[in-house]
């Protein structure tokens, strides 16, 4: 009892005319009649009375019409939902991100995505970059916004604009009066830095920045995430680099200044596990790309 045959039965029941119903279903009349006869044989009852005066529903046909309509409606609804899932308009998206990522276009992208695709359930999961890689590899999340380079095999990364770094220092610090701070000015200053295990590439590049000036940073505390680092700066624990996105959010007691030579920027990327990103993930990534392009980043 296929949906096409049920639709043929409904057409005949509504038109009470085999030829008109056949035209409506883009079938020949013999083909339509054959489908109706096969349906009656499957049910074990005649659905139509046929005589020279025309066509009429039998009591069995009248009883069958309502459920047949519902079956076709449900089948059409199921097909529509399936196609929407293929297009990424319905379903579930597990989105992982670092704290730093949420100081860029990501919050706006999530808001816009939820508004456009309200039938996609979005789970937001915050982790550091290495844990996001592990979660992607394990299939625990669909898409992660993190910091390359990636060390986990079988992950695909789509680059996003890097986040420049600026120096966070206590507002009462003597260097806060300067419009820009030279790396040499940081000699001997208590420095806060994320552990190398969290981001070995950026850690090594920050150390190299000091070494180009013949210095070694006096690291007094390793701290993550950068929002916590900014809090420690406010508490007078030291100085440290944060992203420009974090610096855009004013924090009492903290001043942000550019540094020369320029510190390394923090790379950003959207990553997923091979072989392909889910349809809803592709839709979300399109949203991020659009917002990045609009911002001119």
Q: What's the mean pLDDT in 115-122?
A: 94
Q: What is the pLDDT of residue 137?
A: 94
Q: What percent of the chain has pLDDT over 90?
A: 84
Task: Give the residue carrying structure tokens 């039965």.
Answer: 9
Contact assessment for residue 220 and residue 192, using Cβ atoms and an 8 Å cutoff: yes
295 pLDDT band (50/70/90 cuts)?
A: confident
The answer on pLDDT for 146 being more than 90 is yes
Between 199 and 219, the more confident residue is 219
Per-residue pLDDT tens digits for 67-85 = 999 999 998 888 887 887 7
Domain ranges across the chain: 3-86, 91-162+267-295, 165-264
Mean pLDDT of 108-129: 95
Mean pLDDT of 205-223: 96
Average pLDDT along the chain: 93
pTM (whole model) above 0.85: no
Number of C-alpha atoms within 13 angstroms, CB side, residue 289? 9
Determine the pLDDT at residue 218: 97
Region 18-46: mean pLDDT is 93
Residue 44 sits at the vertex; the CA angle it makes with 38 and 46, to the nearest 5 degrees, is 75
Mean pLDDT, rounded, for 223-227 = 93
Given this model, what pLDDT does residue 80 score? 80
10 Å Cβ neighbour count for 73? 10
Q: Tell me, what's the pLDDT at 96?
A: 97
Is the pLDDT reported for residue 39 higher than 80?
yes
Distance in angstroms (rounded) separating the CA atoms of residues 189 and 152: 36
Q: How far does the chain reach from its first CA to its final CA, in angstroms?
A: 57
* 91-162+267-295 CATH choice from 3.40.1790.10, 3.40.50.150, 3.30.1490.20, 3.40.190.10: 3.40.190.10
pLDDT surpasses 80 at 122: yes
pLDDT band at 297 (very low <50, low <70, confident <90, very high): low
The correct answer on CATH 3.40.50.11540 for the domain covering 165-264 is no
Say if residue 141's pLDDT is above 70: yes
Write the DSSP assignment of 221-284 as a string of letters: EE--SHHHHHHHHHTTS-EEEEEHHHHTS--TTEEEE-EESPPPPEEEEEEEESS---HHHHHH
Give the pLDDT band (50/70/90) at residue 267. Answer: very high
Summarised one tens digit per residue, pLDDT across range 236-252 is 999 999 999 999 999 99
Closest to 57 in 3D by CA, of 32, 34, 40, 76 = 40
Choose the CATH number for 3-86 among 3.40.50.720, 3.30.1150.10, 1.20.1260.10, 1.10.10.10. Answer: 1.10.10.10
How far apart (Å, rounded) are the C-alpha atoms in residues 90 and 96?
A: 19
- Say yes or no: do domains 91-162+267-295 and 165-264 share a fold: yes
- pLDDT digit string (tens) for 147-205? 999 999 889 999 999 999 999 999 999 999 999 999 999 999 999 999 999 989 999 99
Q: pLDDT value at position 172?
A: 96
């Amino acid at each position: 009892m296929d949906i096409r045959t049920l639709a043929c039965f409904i057409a005949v029941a509504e038109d009470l005319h085999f030829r008109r119903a056949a035209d409506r279903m883009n079938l020949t009349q013999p083909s339509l009649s054959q489908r109706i006869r096969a349906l009656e044989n499957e049910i074990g009852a005649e659905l139509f009375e046929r005589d020279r005066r025309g066509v009429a529903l039998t009591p069995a046909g009248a009883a069958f019409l309502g459920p047949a309509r519902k079956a076709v409606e449900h089948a059409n609804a199921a097909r529509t939902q399936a196609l929407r899932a293929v297009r990424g308009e319905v379903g579930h998206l597990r989105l992982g991100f670092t704290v730093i990522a949420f100081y860029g276009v990501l919050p706006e992208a999530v808001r816009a995505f939820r508004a456009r695709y309200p039938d996609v359930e979005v789970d937001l999961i915050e982790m550091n970059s290495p844990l996001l890689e592990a979660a992607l590899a394990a299939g625990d999340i669909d898409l992660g916004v993190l910091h390359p380079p990636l060390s986990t095999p079988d992950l695909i990364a789509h680059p996003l604009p890097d986040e420049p770094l600026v120096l966070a220092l206590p507002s009462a610090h003597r260097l806060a009066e300067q419009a820009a701070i030279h790396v040499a000015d940081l000699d001997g200053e208590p420095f806060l830095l994320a552990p190398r295990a969290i981001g070995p590439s950026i850690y090594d590049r920050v150390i190299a920045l000091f070494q180009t000036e013949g210095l070694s940073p006096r690291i007094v505390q390793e701290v993550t995430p950068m929002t916590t680092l900014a809090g420690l700066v406010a508490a007078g624990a030291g100085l440290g680099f944060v992203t420009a996105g974090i610096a855009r959010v004013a924090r009492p007691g903290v001043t942000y200044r550019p540094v020369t030579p320029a510190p390394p920027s923090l790379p950003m990327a959207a990553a997923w596990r091979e072989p392909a990103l889910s349809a809803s993930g592709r839709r979300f990534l399109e949203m991020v790309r659009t917002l990045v392009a609009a911002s001119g980043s």
